[in-house]
Amino acid sequence: MSGRRERDTKARLERLSEEQISFVRREVFSALYGRAGNLARLNRLPDPKAAIREVAALGRLAESLQDGGVRVPDRAAAEVAVGLAADVDDLHAYEQIYERCERAMWEHDAIHALVRLFGEADRDARGGPGDADAGGDRR
């Protein structure tokens, strides 16, 4: 058929490892589940038609991933995949920020624990609270 569109051409997942394929499937199915759930509030979404197109594209993408490839060309599914990639990148950027903050808090706690040791040692040397000689004679 010379006039037929190449809509059903399948790009195989050969370049992805089994782990990568599993991850991609989880991400796509998770996004599909979440976005489909949003359709219950369709009248409150800013662009209901776009939301429906996105869920449909995610559904096609999820189905084709289960079949071992992705159907091309599918501009809407490609846009969804780009969006998922951006979401994963944003998540990793957040995780890096969180890890840096977590490290900064750990460093803060460590150095202030050191400072407290000096304060405690100074109180002990001066006969701080709880010391029998606290009010005693200092020569």
69 with 12: CB under 8 angstroms?
A: yes
Q: For 82-128, how does the pLDDT look when each residue is reduced to its tens digit (9 = 90+)? A: 999 999 998 888 888 988 899 899 889 999 888 888 887 777 777 76
Radius of gyration over every alpha carbon of the chain, rounded to an integer in angstroms: 30
Asked if the model's pLDDT at residue 136 lies above 70, the reply is no
- The CA distance from 39 to 53, in Å, is 11
- The CA distance from 123 to 134, in Å, is 10
12 with 65: CB under 8 angstroms?
A: no
Q: For 33-78, how does the pLDDT look when each residue is reduced to its tens digit (9 = 90+)? A: 999 999 999 899 999 999 999 999 999 999 989 888 888 888 999 9
Reported pTM: 0.62
